Chain A
Amino acid sequence: MHKEIQIKRYLPEEHAEPFWQTFRVPYDETTSVLGALNYIKEELDSTVSFRWSCRMAICGSCGYMVNGIPKLGCKDFVRNYPAALRIEPLAHFTVERDLMVAMDEFLQHLEAVKPYLIAEPSEPHKPHRQTPAQLAKYKQFANCINCGLCYAACPQFGLNPEFVGPGAIALAHRYNLDSRDQGKAKRMPVLNTHDGVWSCTFVGFCSDVCPKGVDPAAAVNQGKVESAKSMLIQMFRGGA
């Protein structure tokens, strides 16, 4: 079986503009989109550039638009597409070459929300116990692999790149919900702004495309409840 695969190429040294190139690729039931791209690179055209590493939906580096929908190349299969495949770089990001985008914007937002445990080491060398119920509160949001598919799905991020965005807010929420963490007061100022949770209009497509079932839209909108609470508290305290 063969399938027609169109790739949106961008080779800035040779062409100022991106262009489409078509390949005919053999496939069977088990051929992933990433597998097809690797076939193209190895057998047909070695100049095609794209990122990947784990090929098991863990590293988060193989995000592309397949027929207009953000997908992980290693988790999506050629057999899912009856007609041809059109593969483009992730939407809403700056494209550096072929299917490779600059993730800087996403990474800056991620850094801004301090996605790590902030805790006073009360008794060093002692394990910090957490009950299964405490773990259950944030576990779903901890599954994020930073693939950025949710950013490519979010029209609000497409319209305003300053929007902190679904993935970063999901991780901020994950640490805010963690019983071991004390960093919420440091994260809320970022989430409280217009470019924080309030840019979200609950389009909800981010949660549909997320390959890890994180439901970032739920995190952002739970974040709105938290943000409203934290702003009210500030108001009554007479703070800023």
Chain B
Amino acid sequence: MAYKPNLQRTWWLQHRFFRAYMLREATVLPLVFLLCSLLAGVYSLTSADAFIAWQGFMAKPWVIVIHTLALLASFYHALTFFQLFPRVMPIRLGDKSVPAVVMIAAQWSGTLTVIALFLWLFGGGL
């Protein structure tokens, strides 16, 4: 005689930790939307009319809102990813392991460098 409680569908609402996890996983949703928008843009290149229609779509306020959300989501995802990375790929130099903060700082500076590079390359021409 024994019993086993079933995990409820709402398990992820039970604890702050699980809610943060679900938020991390949900960052994929606005990013999928962004990806679809960009793909539609590539297809619209086949005709001038389609391209103008796509530009109109991209300027719609609700589209801009979702795309801004995608930007924030990707930053949040990067934040969680960079924090987990030193635990998944610990780096040892000789006897010592590289401290996690150093690895996290290195990842952020890499990201900022790429952003700066893009702003410099494309920012001026727009």
Interface residues of A (CB under 8 A from B): 10, 12-13, 17-18, 68-69, 91-96, 102, 132-133, 136-137, 155, 158-159, 201-205, 208, 215, 217-218, 221-222, 224-225
Contact = CB atoms under 8 A, between A and B. Distances in A.
A93 B6 CA distance: 10
Given A68-B14, A202-B84, A205-B15, 12 more contacts: A12-B1, A13-B1, A95-B3, A102-B2, A136-B97, A155-B7, A155-B11, A217-B87, A221-B84, A222-B89, A222-B90, A224-B88
Contacts of B2: 12, 94-96, 102
Interface in B22-45: 25
A203 B18 contact: yes
Interface in B85-126: 87-90, 92, 94-95, 97
Contacts of B12: 155
Contacts of B18: 155, 203, 205
Given A132-B95, A217-B87, A204 B21 contact: yes
B contact residues, range:
20 to 34
B88 A218 contact: yes
Contacts, number: 63
Given A155-B12, A225-B89, A94 B17 contact: no
Contacts of A13: 1
A91 B97 CA distance: 35
B5 interface: yes
**Of listed B1, B94, B97, residue having the most chain A CB within 10 A:** B1
B84 A10 contact: no
A68 B17 contact: no
B115 to A, nearest CB: 26
B11 A95 contact: no
A95 B2 CA distance: 5
Contact of B4 (A93, A132, A224): A93
Nearest to B14: A68
Contacts of B11: 155, 158
A95 B7 contact: no
Contacts of A158: 7, 11
Given A12-B1, A155-B12, A201-B25, A221 B87 contact: yes
B3 A10 contact: yes
A157 to B, nearest CB: 9
A133 B94 contact: yes
A136 B95 CA distance: 8
A71 to B, nearest CB: 14
A215 B90 CA distance: 13
Contacts of A91: 5
